[in-house]
Structure 1
Amino acid sequence: MGNSEGPHKSSLFYQMTLLGSAALWGGSYLFTKTALEAMTFMEFLVAGILYLVMSCLSFSGPSVAWLRPEVVSSVLFLIVCASMGAQIMENMSLPHLPGSQASIIMCTECLFAAVFSAIFAGERFTMNTVIGFALIFTAMVMSAKCSEE
């Protein structure tokens, strides 16, 4: 999977930014064991406010084009399902799983993203993608086997 336009000069910056994001998300799971409901509510409230402010600073701002049905339905799906629904399910599940098992399961996010981009956007799997799938799947199976013993 990759950008069809080829690599950008600043792709290292974006890779490091995503790595930092992953590290911050990983650290946030330390706090999921206490005050689950309050943490989830506050997380959505603060994230929503910060996203709104940063998007207005980063982009040209709202426009009438954003009110097209396909844009509104996409945004609603992202808010309700991909963000809120997924985060609530994560926050409910993570306190009940060992960290090693939860971290491997969370690696499946990229698998689903790759599959959906192949189905809906026509992206093709590369050999690296297939190898990554195999490694993540193998790690999940090994983790499950080890937890049974």
Structure 2
Amino acid sequence: MGKGKAIPAWVYKAAIVVATIIWGYSFVAMKDVVSVLPPAWLLGFRFTFAGVLLTAILWKRVRKAFSGRMLLAGAALGLADFMAFWTQTIGLEHTTPGINAFLTATYCVIVPFLWWIVAHRRPTVFNIGAAVLALVGIWLVSVQSGGMTMGYGEAMTLLCALLFAVHMVLVSKLSRFHDVLALTAVQFVAEGCLGFVFGTAFETFPGFGVFTPGIIGQLVFLALFASIVAFGIQNVALAHIPPAQASLFLSLESVFGVLFSIALYGEQITLRLLVGFVLIFAAIVISETFPLKKKTGAQTGETTD
């Protein structure tokens, strides 16, 4: 604790930016892997490897925290996160990494409304304004210029944003009763098992011939860096800086997703997409920043550091 407090807050914020760079690149990495490996199978291999490795690293901690209730809580988190990643990966098959990254980031706007349902804490006027901005941005990004219908990839990505919001609310509730890092290890294992179950039931395994050195390298990156390292950075940083500030920095994931998509995937940025991206990002900033300022020193039960 003492040593942790000696580290300036900007170090943790910089660490979060590193995590968002990793996650931003992961959109492009998943686009490459999902072109040869169906979504559920991809998640099965990614999270099984991440779960086994994290459990081995945290074995004493996991064993100490393990119980039937902890296993059930970790499985619930795994189910929510798996469904979010599965729909996100399906969406990525049918849209570009940049659009997938930005639409995924709208979970920051959804969370306050889900928290209202769970904790009966009404969202502020800033949350409502952010939601309207996000809807306009989503329309510009998602709806094809020639019609009023939303593409399948964009619709699945929006569903994944809702599921990620559900997962975040579950984490905030369950982490009060269980070791969050041990829960993360159980969650990863559960997600990996669900990937293999869903893959067997709904998809066709393409065979081990698709595991070229390049695909294996991308899978290792997704499991080791995009899962274990990035989530580890996020959890440590959240213990030292206010959650709303951390969420604002975490939203940079979508920005790096677009930048990597432009640089490596060849995505074309039009004025329509750019305006949509700006509106969605503005909605995230408003939703995460202004409510914090309004609540500072007020009746909220959360501390502001």
For normalisation by structure 1, the TM-score amounts to: 0.73
Q: Which has the higher contact order (CA 8 A, sep 6+)?
A: 2
Deviates more, 1:109-118 or 1:54-63: 54-63
Amino acid corresponding to residue 188 of structure 2 in structure 1: F
Task: Please say if residues 248 and 288 of structure 2, whose CA atoms lie closer than 8 Å, have aligned partners that are also in contact.
Answer: yes
CA shift, 1:66, in A, is 2.3
> Is 1:18 aligned to 2:132, yes or no?
no
> Superposition pairs for residues 67-106 of structure 1, below 5 Å?
67-106=211-250
Cα distance change on mapping 1:37 and 1:49 into 2, 3 Å:
same
Letter in 1 for 2:249: I
CA distance in 2, matches of 1:140, 1:20: 16
Q: Say yes or no: does 1:123 pair with 2:267.
A: yes
Query: Larger radius of gyration, structure 1 or 2?
Result: 2
SS of the residue corresponding to residue 254 of structure 2 reads helix
CA RMSD of aligned residues (A): 3.4
Distance in 1 of aligned mates of 2:277 and 2:158: 20
How many Å apart are 1:145 and its aligned residue?
Answer: 9.2
2:187 is matched with which residue? 43
Return the letter of the residue paired with 2:195.
Answer: Y
**Alpha-carbon distance in 2 for matches of 1:72, 1:101:** 35
Contact 1:66 1:72 (8 Å CA) reproduced: no
User: Residues of 1 paired with 2:257 and 2:175: CA distance?
Assistant: 24
Identity of matched residues, %: 23
| CA deviation after TM superposition for structure 1 residue 61, in Å | 1.4
How many residue pairs are counted as aligned between the two chains?
146
Q: Secondary structure at the match of 2:239?
A: helix
* 8 Å CA contact retained: 2:262, 2:268: yes
- Bigger CA drift: 90-99 or 29-38? 29-38
Contact 1:44–1:84 under 8 Å retained in 2: no
Q: Distance in 1 between matches of 2:276 and 2:246?
A: 24
Change in Cα spacing, 1:73 to 1:45, as seen in structure 2 (3 Å) is same
Letter in 2 for 1:18: C
Aligned to 2:65: none
Q: Give the aligned residue type for 2:214.
A: E
Q: Which amino acid aligns with 2:162?
A: G
In 1, are the aligned partners of 2:248 and 2:284 still within 8 Å (CA)?
Answer: yes
Task: Please report how far the alpha carbon of residue 11 of structure 1 lies from its aligned counterpart in structure 2 after TM superposition.
Answer: 5.0
Structure 2-normalised TM-score?
0.40
